């Protein structure tokens, strides 16, 4: 039949356990396995069939099972304990527990976090990979910390695809329709008591989005849905899929996310004090905020000052092609009626995001985000460095070291990723309440040795057994589906050996991740895999974007090998990598392998999940591992360098990988004592936990975001409010004055140009500036110096020079004594930059005059 409406009807719940509903509607269960068990244990088969979704489960469970459970003492005890913890978590009394409110001073404030994807649980496929998992984990930790945080995104009715691998190793994508009545989300209600629907204008039409509210512990997530009746059929499809469709669909989705997202918050009566753009997809939100202020009577430049003062942009993409750009044709089509509302003409609007590509100028979302936020960061130290170089051209005249893009290294939400058995082990040997100390390195330093080797080994092997069983089941399902015979199917009952050294490799099949690096020298690999005394196996999993043909051919290659006589059982490929499978893989293999092309992995997080569960990483020194590796907590493939030639890089990295396998990893794993315990290996496991669990936790990460970015943004918002935009108005006028007079600025320097100096001696440097329309209050004159090599001079230090006097000829003189604090070759220069106490960051104007 043709469907008009769809309603989920729940059975009548026995009163004794009626809070199972409420619990189902808070994603808190996604990081509390004991809460999920309240559903799964009632009917494990149904639990599998409904994809671990408690809301669907409740709608389909046989009422009799609920009735029975309501009389079972054991079940009720579990139930009461979960409900008690849930209440304690959701409504902690002040001072009752460490997590009641980590930031009491932020009460009443709001931090808004925009992301195109959120990876919270496998039953909610609105994520594609690392970016989404990061957003999901960020929300969960914000909830744990009691941060006043709201997320904004999309509820894609079909989400990201479900991967199947057919008999020929070809990836097939299928999309399951997600029925929102079966999702743990409810329509968001506005202050007027009505469901919230917002609209945005697209070319020739208006489209509407309904807002759904999803609870992630104490954090609400507002998700937009365009699949509603007033919209034309094509618009109802608009948010159907994550990263599906062409550029038109993409720009439309981003308009709904950015512009619609701001309108959704307004309609809900939420006024954020801090704004966080997670990746460039949401950059239009800054335009919408400007538009709101222009409506209030500010000029665009004034509005921009307000907007940048309290917004942060996190970039994730070190590959230029990974940054979203749109053609001017598309911008004209979609924004022709919008730029006027900002008080801008077309050229001014385009200039905000102009980005030169080899084929011409494009409208770049990363550019736009960088220009319309005051604070920016990358997601690991190395990625910060790469981003500063990549976007240096936006701050012409600045050394890349000084480009205002910082970095906060990604982390993972500990309780979403720790295996229950490892959690229990930590509880026994570290502290029953160890979760409280997750990000405290001291805690881990002191206590990790308290875990007996034999216990860690036993627990790890238990996880390994659970993983192997899971993998066998999945492989059987997959091959039954493609129609293999019973003989072949029976083979999967023996697939993977729990006593072997098992490597895990799972991530998106993007080509830069080089999933097939291991196979560069098949002869050498064959030897590694065929030692009966020391069995070694590799498990692969991951999706390729449906439009990524090279990515899909990597899958086919690995699949074909895995089915070949020679590598069968030694190379295993699992289909449909998702959060559920990730939980098994990162705790049930022995080593986590990652070999991207440095420096293309902005951070990577799966290795952090693995390390938390005691799996050492064997990885390229890229992203987080460049910081995480300490020589004892895993292995580093290759060197800390980049190559010009990717072929040479792959050759060097694969040789290094084989060498590590042969000489270090395999021998260490199989070196056992009389009881079969590999003490040296366990030392590496413990070192991985000790060093990575605190440092790469989401707790450490969210706290860093809060102190470095959110708190200052909130402070700025308060100032904006108190000043009623007066400060920003003045700042905008000041910037306009500086910009229009900057070209007239002249700078002369007098100081020693060549020569030698003994450490402790000084040289006098003088500078004269001539100004028109600018005063000495508007500038800062700096002596910049640093180490130098033949080609490069580093701007390591920037010291303000002192204004001494106005000369007869009208120029202004500045002095300083340069006193090098180290021996060696140094270079120096003098520069002038605009200076104003209200700038969010020093180089904001991108104006600089060097002598
Ligand atoms: C953690 C995770 C990722 C990200 O892994 P990377 O190592 O950053 O590529 C992707 N997909 C799933 C399902 C994950 O759990």
Cα–ligand 1 centroid distance for 493 (angstroms): 27
Instruction: State the average pLDDT over residues 249-267.
Output: 96
Cα–ligand 1 centroid distance for 542 (angstroms): 9
At 5 the pLDDT is 74
Residues 538 and 644 both lie in one domain: yes
pLDDT over 90 for what percent of the chain? Answer: 83
Q: Which neighbouring-strand residues pair with 362? A: 355
Residue of the CA atom closest to atom 10 of ligand 1:
129
Which of 100-104, 345-349, 396-400 has the weakest average pLDDT?
A: 100-104
Query: Is the CB of 129 inside a 6 Å radius of any atom of ligand 1?
Result: yes
Which of 37-51, 92-106, 192-206, 397-411 has the weakest average pLDDT?
A: 92-106
Query: Is the CB of 619 inside a 6 Å radius of any atom of ligand 1?
Result: no
In a domain? residue 418: no
pLDDT-derived band at 96 (thresholds 50, 70, 90) equals low
Q: Which residues contact 631 (CB under 8 A, 6 or more apart)?
A: none
At 99 the pLDDT is 66
Could you report the per-residue pLDDT of 345-376, keeping only the tens digit for each? Answer: 999 999 999 998 888 899 999 999 999 999 99
Residues 193 and 297 both lie in one domain: yes
Looking at ligand 1, which atom is closest to the CA of residue 577? Answer: 13
At 841 the pLDDT is 84
| Number of independent structural domains in the chain | 4
At 100 the pLDDT is 60
Instruction: State the average pLDDT over residues 52-79.
Output: 96
Could you report the per-residue pLDDT of 167-212, keeping only the tens digit for each? Answer: 999 999 998 888 888 899 999 999 999 999 999 999 999 999 999 9
In a domain? residue 419: no
Largest CA distance in the chain: 99
Residues 714 and 778 both lie in one domain: no
At 822 the pLDDT is 82
Could you report the per-residue pLDDT of 523-570, keeping only the tens digit for each? Answer: 999 999 999 999 999 999 999 999 999 999 999 999 999 999 999 999
Query: Is the CB of 278 inside a 6 Å radius of any atom of ligand 1?
Result: no
Mutational pocket test of ligand 1: of 118, 133, 417, 615, the residue with most ligand atoms within 8 Å of the beta carbon: 133
Query: Is the CB of 593 inside a 6 Å radius of any atom of ligand 1?
Result: no
At 343 the pLDDT is 97
Query: Is the CB of 605 inside a 6 Å radius of any atom of ligand 1?
Result: yes
Could you tell me the residue range of the domain that residue 342 belongs to? 98-161+173-410+703-723
In a domain? residue 441: no
Residues 335 and 202 both lie in one domain: yes
Starting at the edge strand found earlier in the chain, the sheet holding 354-357 runs 325-326, 360-364, 354-357
Could you report the per-residue pLDDT of 134-147, keeping only the tens digit for each? Answer: 999 999 999 999 99
Residues 363 and 334 both lie in one domain: yes
pLDDT-derived band at 752 (thresholds 50, 70, 90) equals confident
Nearest alpha carbon to residue 727 among 820, 836, 591, 630: 836
Residues 711 and 748 both lie in one domain: no
In a domain? residue 448: no
Which of 53-62, 219-228, 319-328 has the weakest average pLDDT?
A: 319-328
Q: Which residues contact 153 (CB under 8 A, 6 or more apart)?
A: 114, 115, 116, 117, 118, 126, 135, 221, 222, 223, 224, 257, 261
At 42 the pLDDT is 97
Instruction: State the average pLDDT over residues 317-345.
Output: 93
Q: Where are the beta strands (DSSP E) in 741-818?
A: 746-750, 763-770, 779-787, 797-800, 802-806, 812-818
Count Cα neighbours of 257 within 13 Å in the Cβ-side half-sphere.
30
In a domain? residue 444: no
CA 328, CA 452: separation in Å to the nearest integer?
63
Query: Is the CB of 411 inside a 6 Å radius of any atom of ligand 1?
Result: no
CA 293, CA 278: separation in Å to the nearest integer?
23
In a domain? residue 591: yes
String of DSSP letters for 191-223: TTSSBPEEEEEETTEEEEEEEEEEEETTEEEEE
Cα–ligand 1 centroid distance for 129 (angstroms): 5
**Exposure string for 769-788, b = 16+ CB within 10 A, e = fewer:** bebeebeeebbbbbbbbbee
Residues 82 and 127 both lie in one domain: no
CATH of the domain at 216: 3.40.50.2000
pLDDT-derived band at 507 (thresholds 50, 70, 90) equals very high
CA 74, CA 81: separation in Å to the nearest integer?
11
Instruction: State the average pLDDT over residues 102-117.
Output: 92
Residues 665 and 774 both lie in one domain: no
Could you report the per-residue pLDDT of 753-785, keeping only the tens digit for each? Answer: 888 888 888 889 999 999 999 999 999 999 999
In a domain? residue 263: yes
Query: Is the CB of 133 inside a 6 Å radius of any atom of ligand 1?
Result: yes
Cα–ligand 1 centroid distance for 297 (angstroms): 45
At 823 the pLDDT is 84
Taking 80 as the threshold, does the pLDDT of residue 8 lie above it? no
At 95 the pLDDT is 65
Taking 80 as the threshold, does the pLDDT of residue 101 lie above it? no
Residues 48 and 129 both lie in one domain: no
Residues 685 and 600 both lie in one domain: yes
Instruction: State the average pLDDT over residues 607-630.
Output: 98
Bigger pLDDT: 118 vs 1: 118
Residues 53 and 109 both lie in one domain: no
Residues 565 and 518 both lie in one domain: yes
CATH of the domain at 783: 2.60.40
At 527 the pLDDT is 96
In a domain? residue 463: no
pLDDT over 70 for what percent of the chain? Answer: 99
String of DSSP letters for 445-511: HHHGGGS-HHHHHHHHHHHHHHHHHHHHHHHHHHHHHTT--HHHHHHGGG-S-TTSEEEEEES---G
Cα–ligand 1 centroid distance for 133 (angstroms): 7
């Amino acid at each position: 039949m043709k469907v008009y409406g769809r309603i989920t009807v729940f059975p009548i719940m026995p009163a004794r356990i009626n809070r199972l509903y409420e619990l189902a509607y808070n994603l808190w269960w996604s990081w509390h396995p004991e809460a999920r068990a309240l559903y799964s244990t009632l009917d494990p088969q149904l639990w599998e069939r409904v994809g671990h979704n408690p809301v669907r489960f409740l709608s389909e469970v046989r009422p009799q099972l609920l009735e029975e459970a309501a009389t079972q003492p054991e079940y009720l005890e579990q139930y009461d304990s979960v409900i008690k913890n849930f209440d304690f978590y959701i409504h902690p009394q002040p001072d009752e527990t460490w997590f009641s409110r980590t930031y009491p001073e932020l009460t009443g404030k709001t931090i808004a976090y925009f992301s195109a994807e959120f990876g919270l649980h496998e039953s909610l496929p609105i994520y594609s990979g690392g970016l989404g998992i990061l957003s999901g984990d960020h929300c969960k930790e914000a909830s744990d910390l009691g941060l006043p945080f709201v997320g904004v995104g999309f509820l894609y009715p079909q989400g990201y695809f479900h991967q199947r691998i057919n008999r020929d190793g070809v990836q097939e994508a299928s999309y399951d329709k997600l029925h929102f009545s079966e999702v743990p989300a409810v329509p968001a209600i506005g202050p007027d008591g009505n469901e919230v629907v917002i609209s945005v204008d697209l070319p020739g039409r208006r489209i509407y989005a309904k807002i759904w509210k999803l609870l992630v512990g104490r954090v609400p997530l507002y998700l937009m849905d365009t699949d509603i009746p007033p919209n034309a059929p094509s618009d109802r499809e608009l948010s159907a899929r994550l990263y599906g469709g062409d550029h038109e669909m993409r720009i439309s989705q981003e308009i709904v996310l950015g512009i619609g997202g701001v309108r959704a918050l307004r309609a809900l009566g939420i006024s954020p004090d801090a704004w966080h753009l997670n990746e460039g997809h949401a950059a239009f939100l800054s335009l919408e905020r400007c538009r709101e202020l222009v409506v209030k009577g500010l000029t665009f430049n004034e509005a921009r000052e307000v907007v940048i003062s309290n917004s942060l942009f996190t970039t994730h993409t070190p590959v230029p092609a990974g940054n979203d750009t749109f053609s001017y044709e598309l911008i004209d089509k979609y924004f022709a009626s919008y730029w006027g509302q900002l008080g801008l003409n077309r050229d001014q609007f385009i200039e905000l995001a102009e980005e030169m590509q080899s084929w011409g100028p494009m409208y770049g979302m990363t550019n736009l985000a960088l220009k319309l936020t005051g604070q920016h960061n990358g997601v690991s130290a190395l990625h910060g460095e790469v981003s500063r170089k990549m976007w240096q051209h936006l701050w012409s005249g600045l050394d890349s070291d000084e480009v205002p893009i910082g970095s906060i290294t990604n982390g993972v939400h500990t309780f979403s990723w720790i295996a229950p058995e490892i959690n229990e082990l930590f509880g026994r040997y570290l502290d029953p309440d160890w979760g409280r100390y997750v990000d405290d390195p001291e805690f881990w330093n002191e206590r990790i040795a308290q875990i007996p080797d034999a216990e860690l080994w036993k627990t790890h092997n238990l996880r390994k057994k659970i993983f192997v069983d899971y993998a066998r089941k999945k492989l059987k399902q997959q091959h039954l589906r493609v129609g293999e015979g019973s003989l072949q199917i029976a083979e999967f009952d023996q697939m993977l050996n729990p006593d072997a050294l098992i490597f895990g490799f799972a991530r998106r099949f993007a080509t830069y991740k080089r999933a097939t690096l291991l196979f560069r020298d098949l002869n050498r690999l064959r030897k590694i895999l065929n030692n009966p005394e020391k069995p070694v196996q590799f498990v692969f999993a991951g999706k390729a974007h449906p439009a990524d043909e090279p990515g899909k051919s990597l899958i086919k290659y690995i699949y074909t090998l895995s089915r070949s006589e020679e590598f069968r059982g030694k190379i295993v490929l699992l289909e449909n990598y998702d959060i559920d499978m990730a939980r098994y893989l990162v705790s049930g293999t022995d080593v986590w392998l990652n070999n991207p092309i440095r420096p293309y992995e902005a951070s990577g997080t799966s290795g952090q999940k693995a390390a938390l569960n005691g799996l050492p990483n064997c990885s390229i020194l890229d992203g987080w591992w460049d910081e995480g590796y300490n020589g004892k907590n895993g292995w580093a493939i290759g060197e800390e360098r980049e190559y010009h030639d990717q072929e040479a890089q792959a050759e060097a990295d694969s040789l290094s990988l084989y060498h590590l396998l042969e000489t270090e990893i395999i021998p260490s794993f199989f070196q056992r004592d009389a009881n079969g315990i590999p003490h040296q290996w366990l030392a590496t496991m413990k070192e991985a936990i000790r060093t990575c669990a605190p440092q790469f936790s989401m707790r450490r990460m969210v706290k860093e975001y809060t102190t470095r970015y959110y708190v200052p943004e909130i402070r700025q918002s308060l100032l904006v409010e108190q000043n009623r935009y007066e400060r920003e108005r003045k700042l905008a006028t000041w910037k306009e004055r500086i910009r229009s007079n900057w070209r007239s600025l002249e700078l002369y320097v007098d100081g020693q140009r060549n020569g030698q100096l003994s450490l402790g001696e000084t040289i006098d440097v003088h500078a004269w500036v001539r100004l028109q329309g600018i005063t000495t209050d508007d500038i800062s004159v700096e002596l910049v110096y640093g180490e130098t090599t033949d080609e490069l001079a580093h701007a390591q230090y920037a010291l303000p020079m002192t204004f001494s006097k106005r000369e007869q000829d009208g120029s202004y003189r500045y002095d300083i004594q340069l006193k090098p604090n180290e021996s060696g070759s140094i270079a120096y220069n003098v520069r002038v930059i605009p200076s104003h106490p209200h700038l969010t960051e020093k180089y904001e104007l991108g104006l600089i005059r060097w002598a």
